[in-house]
Amino acid sequence: MLEVVRVPVLSDNYVWLIHDSVSAETVAVDPAVAEPVLQAAAARGWTIGQIWNTHWHGDHVGGNAGIKAAAKAWGGCTITGPAAEAARIGSLDRTVREGASVGIGDHVARVMEVPAHTAGHIAYHLPDDGMIFVGDTLFAMGCGRLFEGTPAQMFANMQRFAALPDDTTVYCAHEYTQSNGRFALTVEPDNMALRERMEAVDTARARDEATVPTTIGLERDTNIFMRARNVAELAQRRAAKDAG
Ligand SMILES: [Zn+2]
C-alpha cells in the first residue's frame, strides 16, 4: 500500500508525498518549495529519493534544486518530468513521454501526456493503486487554464480522465475547489450532486480544511469541464470562468 501525504505550501498549492513502506521509497510530486516538503518527509522518518514534475511552472518545480541538494545526505534524488518541457525545467534527470513507466518500489505510474495548461503537461497514473497525479490539468470541479493549449486538447484530456475507474483518487495541485464549485453552480444550478458537494465544500472551507484529493467518480458527477459535451461547450465554460 502506498501512503500519500498532502503538504500545503504557498497560498494554495498542494505538494504530494508518496511513500512505499515496503521499499521505504518516497516521491515528492510537484514540490513548489523545498523546505516544508523536506520537513514533512523528515517528520515521518522518510527521505525523498524522487521528484515527479507535471509541468514547468515555478510553483511546481521551485523546490527541485533544494530537495536535490538536501538528498545528497541520503543517496540522492532523481527528478523526472516531461520531455517536452525539459529545457524549461532545467533540473530533470529523466525525461518521459506518453506511456513511459515511472516506479516507486513495485508500484508503477504510467505517464499520460495531457497538454493544454502547458504544452508538455503530463500526469502520473498508477492504475494498480487507483491513483492519478494530475498537476494543474484537472481540479476538483475545475480544469486548468489554457495557457499553452487549446480547448480541443483540454476536452480530450477530460475524456481520458473520465474513462478511468470511478474510484480512482485524483491528486490535484491547488485548493481551487470552492471557487470552481461556485462557478459550476451557475452553469448547472439544478445538478443535485453538485449542490450537495458544494455544501460539504463550504463547510470544509469554513473550517479551513482541504477539499482534495477527489475521485474520478465525483468529478464525472460535478465537474462541468469533464461534463462538457463537446469542445465548444468546454471552450465557452473555460472562457466564462476566466472572465469571472
Ligand atoms: Zn501551472
Name the residue with cell 532545467: 90
- Which pLDDT score is estimated for 244? 84
Average pLDDT, the chain: 98
For residue range 137-170, list pLDDT tens digits in order. 999 999 999 999 999 999 999 999 999 999 999 9
Looking at 59, 107, 129, 221, which residue is catalytic?
Answer: 59
- Which pLDDT score is estimated for 7? 98
- Which pLDDT score is estimated for 207? 98
User: What is the C-alpha to C-alpha distance for residues 212 and 173, in angstroms, rounded to an integer?
Assistant: 9
Q: What are phi and psi of 215, to 5 degrees?
A: -130, 160
Which cell is 2 given?
502506498
Expressed in angstroms and rounded, the spacing between residue 59 Cα and the centre of ligand 1 is: 7
For residue range 194-230, list pLDDT tens digits in order. 999 999 999 999 999 999 999 999 999 999 999 999 9
User: In terms of residue numbers, what domain contains 40?
Assistant: 1-97
Asked if residue 225 belongs to a domain, the reply is yes
- Which pLDDT score is estimated for 141? 98
Looking at 19, 60, 107, 125, which residue is catalytic?
Answer: 60
174 labelled catalytic: yes
For residues 166 and 224, state if they share a domain: yes
For residues 90 and 152, state if they share a domain: no
Residue where a domain stops, chosen among 37, 72, 97: 97
For residues 72 and 146, state if they share a domain: no
For residues 141 and 190, state if they share a domain: yes
Identify the helix (H) or strand (E) that includes residue 25: strand 25-29
Residue where a domain stops, chosen among 97, 128, 147: 97
Is 236 a residue whose pLDDT tops 90? yes
Q: What are phi and psi of 107, to 5 degrees?
A: -90, 140
Asked if residue 130 belongs to a domain, the reply is no
pTM check: above 0.95: yes
User: What is the C-alpha to C-alpha distance for residues 67 and 158, in angstroms, rounded to an integer?
Assistant: 32
For residues 239 and 188, state if they share a domain: yes
Asked if residue 230 belongs to a domain, the reply is yes
- Which pLDDT score is estimated for 146? 98
Asked if residue 126 belongs to a domain, the reply is no
User: What is the C-alpha to C-alpha distance for residues 87 and 99, in angstroms, rounded to an integer?
Assistant: 21
Asked if residue 57 belongs to a domain, the reply is yes
Quick check: 139 and 172 in contact, CB under 8 A? yes
- Tally the domains of the chain: 2
For residues 144 and 231, state if they share a domain: yes
Expressed in angstroms and rounded, the spacing between residue 93 Cα and the centre of ligand 1 is: 21
Asked if residue 115 belongs to a domain, the reply is no
Selection from 32, 25, 77, 45 nearest residue 173 by Cα? 32
Asked if residue 106 belongs to a domain, the reply is no
For residue range 66-111, list pLDDT tens digits in order. 999 999 999 999 999 999 999 999 999 999 999 999 999 999 999 9
CATH of the domain at 34: 3.60.15.10
Q: Which amino acid is at 52?
A: W
Asked if residue 86 belongs to a domain, the reply is yes
